[in-house]
């Protein structure tokens, strides 16, 4: 054991973990010093999650060694990891919506104190770290950003030495990201090490002291993010040079807007869902409308209302002047709609059915795969094979079940299935979620190509960079209301943040830091 190793908080050497058919981590080594903010950077499937799960005791590595302050550290379960001072905020929250904040925090503790004491503690921690949170509020009523605060405070109450954050900003508005970063910087100044997982390069450059870059389970580079450009980081992460999508010059198509939504109000079919309130917009042929918003602000409901799965009143949805407000999915498909929902398995595709059957699922109408009620399986197979070929879906064949495909490949299949149908109106929720960078670029390119061919496109996404790249106009959903769409050209991050609702729940007066006051003022303005 060398002197530098004892100075480190956590040292990982040669960590390897294999799953059947895939090596998630191969000989990974890195170390984190106390107070260091260390980024783990990599594409989906690069092995970041497996690595932090090993640190948090959820996965037992096949080989390699972890040391905590020089001592051998091999947690057999998360409880052991927590006892050693490791805390983790997951990307997907584990909170009960029907319980309040304090009750949720108590559920995660080994020996919870009384509710009143705990509430006081929660208040104290939330004030100390600029994370306003009322312990008595129901979690079901909180925004995604506030829910994340519950998770963070739950971790901070354990007084951790190492805090792991898995993609924490995917559910935050730009203002909320600033608040989170202020908290993380404060923690780091107090000596807490932070392991920060992300694929958002600018964030890492502004927050992290060092970065370990993973590709296909291996460490490919280590660097100080402030000293390299975002483009260099991206190329290290992907391993190839990236080309941004090219757009054809806009054609001005004549006639009525291809898609017109007026006064769309529908109740959410899901418990704790967000109802849509008076949503209105129009999309011309050849235009891409980007709709942003923090997760859970009505994106799913908007997609359902546009696909026809959630019926609205007559007149609320029109395509090329034809009223489709109270029409179901198949009538809308006949009118030229194609829709790709966010949830691939179970919504966009039936998990246990083959790709051929899944091609029929939404392609039956527009591709003419059914004649007088009888299915033309030969034509369906040809359609599925065409999608697999044209969209580079990696699969042993079209006979395999949808659930056997990797997330990215299934996404390519779903997007390809919809975009191959000569659509007039395209609605996509999270087009590149979970897809690797080169496939994501290809998907964005096809969307732009379809727009250039005259389709009206609505892209709902939580990835602001993606929307900036492909959208002509931009709007944001906030608590079921849609902001007025504005041209993307000249839009600043700050304006976008305000359209998304600013910083949710920032009404607590005792926030100290200057930029927090700024965010609060912005929120009050909104």
Partner 1 sequence: MLKLERRPAPSRLWTAATPVLAVIATMIAGGLLFAALGKDPVEAIRTIFWDPLFGEFASYSRPQLLVKAGPLILIAIGLSLGFKAQVWNIGAEGQYMMGALFGAATGLAFYPTDSVLLFPAMVVMGAFGGFLWAMIPAVLKLRFGTSEILVSLMLVYVAQHIMSAASFGMLKNPEGMGFPGSRNFQHYPAAFNGELIAGTGMHWGGVAALGAVVAAYVLLSRHILGFHIRVAGEAPRAARFAGVSPALLTSVCLGTSGALAGLAGLFEVTGPAGQITTDFASGYGFTAIIVAFLGRLHPVGILLAGLLMALTYIGGELAQLTLNLPSAAVQAFQGMLLFFLLAFDVLANFRIRLAGRARA
| Residue 312 touches partner 1, criterion: CB under 8 A | no
62 binds partner 1 (CB under 8 A): yes
Give the contact letters, 432-471, x = binds to partner 1 (CB under 8 A), - = no. ----------------------------------------
Q: Which is nearer to partner 1, 193 or 393 (CB)?
A: 393
Residue 374 near partner 1 by CB under 8 A: yes
Contact of 377 with 456, CB cutoff 8 Å? no
Q: Which of 13, 69, 403, 486 binds partner 1 (CB under 8 A)?
A: 403
Q: How far is the CB of 464 from partner 1 (least distance, A)?
A: 27
CB nearer to partner 1: give 272 or 377. 377
9 to 38: interface string for partner 1, x by CB under 8 A = ----------x-------------------
Task: Compute the distance between CA of residue 158 and CA of residue 154 in angstroms, rounded to an integer.
Answer: 7
In angstroms, give the least distance from the CB of 433 to partner 1: 17
Q: Which of 99, 361, 491, 522 binds partner 1 (CB under 8 A)?
A: 361
Q: Say if residues 106 and 123 touch (Cβ distance below 8 Å).
A: no
Q: Which residues make Cβ contacts (< 8 Å) with residue 123, sequence separation at least 6?
A: 135
CA angle 371, 374, 375 (to 5 degrees): 90
429 forms beta bridges with 460
3-state secondary structure 306-357: HHCCCCCCCCCEEECCEECCCCCHHHHHHCCEEEECCCCECCCECCCCEHHH
Q: CB 20 → partner 1: shortest distance, Å?
A: 9
Q: Are strands 162-166 and 86-89 parallel, antiparallel or unpaired?
A: parallel
Options 253-261, 336-344, 444-452, 455-463: segment touching partner 1 (CB under 8 A)? 336-344
Task: List alpha helices for 368-513, DSSP H.
Answer: 377-390, 407-419, 437-452, 464-470, 493-499
Q: Does 494 bind partner 1 (CB under 8 A)?
A: no
Q: Are 368 and 382 in contact (CB under 8 A)?
A: no
**Shortest distance, position 262 Cβ to partner 1, whole Å:** 24
Map tokens 């490949």 to a residue.
Answer: 409
Q: Which is nearer to partner 1, 75 or 485 (CB)?
A: 75
Q: Interface with partner 1 includes 353 (CB under 8 A)?
A: yes
Report the distance separating Cα 284 and Cα 74, nearest Å. Answer: 58
Q: Which stretch binds partner 1 (CB under 8 A): 207-215, 272-280, 360-368, 441-449?
A: 360-368
Q: Cβ of residue 396: shortest distance to partner 1, in angstroms?
A: 11
| C-beta of 282 vs 350, nearer to partner 1 | 350
DSSP per residue over 105-132, as a string? HHHT-SS---HHHHHHHHHHHHHHTT--
- 382 touching partner 1, by CB under 8 A: no
- The one among 349, 424, 482, 498 contacting partner 1 by CB under 8 A: 349
Evaluate whether 184 touches 208 at the Cβ level (below 8 Å). no
Q: 168 with 89: CB under 8 angstroms?
A: yes
CB of 332 to partner 1, least distance (A): 9
Nearer to partner 1, 12 or 349 (CB): 349
The interface with partner 1 within residues 266-305 (CB under 8 A) comprises none
The residue with tokens 């929720």 is 429
Among 348, 355, 476, 488, binds partner 1 (CB under 8 A): 348
Distance (Å) of CA 153 to CA 325, 437, 512: 44, 33, 18
User: Within 218-237, which residues bind partner 1 (CB under 8 A)?
Assistant: none
User: In whole angstroms, how close is the CB of 364 to partner 1 at the nearest point?
Assistant: 7
Site for partner 1 (CB under 8 A): which residue of 321, 346, 368, 487? 346
Sign of the C-alpha dihedral, residues 349, 351, 353, 355? positive
Interface residues with partner 1 (CB under 8 A)?
Answer: 19, 59-60, 62, 307-309, 328-330, 333, 339, 341, 343, 345-353, 357, 360-362, 364-365, 370, 373-375, 377, 400-401, 403-404
């Amino acid at each position: 054991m060398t002197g530098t190793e004892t100075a480190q908080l956590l040292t990982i050497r040669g960590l390897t973990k294999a799953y059947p058919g895939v090596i998630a981590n191969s000989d990974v080594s890195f170390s984190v010093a106390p107070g260091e903010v260390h980024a783990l950077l990599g594409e989906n499937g690069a092995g970041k999650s497996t690595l932090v799960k090993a640190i948090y005791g959820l996965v037992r590595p096949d080989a390699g060694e972890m040391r905590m302050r020089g001592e051998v550290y091999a947690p057999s379960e998360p409880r052991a990891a927590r006892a050693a001072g490791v805390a983790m905020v997951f990307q997907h929250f584990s909170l009960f919506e029907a319980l309040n904040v304090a009750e949720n925090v108590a559920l995660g503790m080994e020996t919870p104190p009384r509710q009143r004491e705990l509430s006081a503690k929660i208040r104290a921690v939330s004030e100390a770290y600029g994370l306003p949170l009322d312990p008595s509020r129901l979690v079901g009523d909180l925004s995604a950003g506030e829910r994340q605060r519950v998770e963070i405070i739950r971790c901070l109450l354990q007084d951790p030495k190492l805090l792991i954050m898995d993609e924490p900003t995917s559910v935050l508005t730009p203002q909320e990201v600033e608040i989170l970063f202020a908290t993380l910087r404060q923690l780091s100044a107090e000596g807490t090490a932070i392991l920060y997982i992300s694929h958002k390069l600018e964030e890492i450059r502004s927050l992290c002291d060092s970065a370990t870059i993973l590709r296909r389970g291996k460490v490919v580079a280590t660097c100080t993010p402030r000293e390299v450009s975002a483009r260099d980081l991206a190329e290290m992460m992907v391993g190839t040079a990236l080309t941004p999508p090219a757009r054809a010059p806009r054609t001005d198509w004549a006639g009525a807007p291809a898609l017109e939504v007026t006064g769309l109000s529908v109740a959410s079919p899901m418990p704790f869902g967000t109802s849509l309130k008076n949503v209105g917009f129009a999309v011309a042929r050849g235009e891409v409308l980007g709709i942003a918003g923090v997760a859970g602000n009505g994106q799913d409901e908007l997609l359902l209302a546009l696909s026809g799965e959630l019926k609205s009143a007559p007149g609320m949805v029109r395509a090329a002047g034809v009223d489709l407000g109270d029409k179901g999915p198949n009538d809308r498909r006949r009118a030229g709609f194609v829709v790709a929902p966010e949830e691939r398995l179970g919504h966009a595709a039936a998990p246990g059915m083959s790709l051929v059957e899944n091609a029929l699922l939404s392609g039956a109408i527009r591709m003419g795969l059914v004649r007088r009620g009888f299915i033309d399986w030969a034509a369906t197979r040809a359609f599925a094979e065409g999608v697999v070929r044209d969209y580079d879906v990696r699969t042993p064949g079209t006979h395999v079940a949808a659930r056997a495909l990797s997330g990215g490949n299934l996404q390519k299949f779903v997007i390809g299935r919809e975009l191959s149908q000569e659509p007039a109106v395209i609605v996509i929720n999270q087009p590149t979620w979970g897809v690797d960078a080169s496939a994501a670029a290809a998907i964005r390119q096809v969307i732009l190509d379809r727009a250039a061919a005259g389709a009206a496109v609505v892209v709902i996404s939580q990835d602001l960079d993606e929307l900036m790249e492909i959208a002509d106009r931009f709007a944001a959903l906030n608590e079921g209301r849609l902001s007025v769409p504005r041209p993307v050209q000249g839009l600043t991050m700050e304006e976008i943040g305000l359209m998304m609702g600013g910083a949710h729940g920032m009404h607590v007066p005792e926030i100290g830091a200057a930029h927090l006051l700024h965010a609060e003022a912005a929120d009050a303005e909104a």
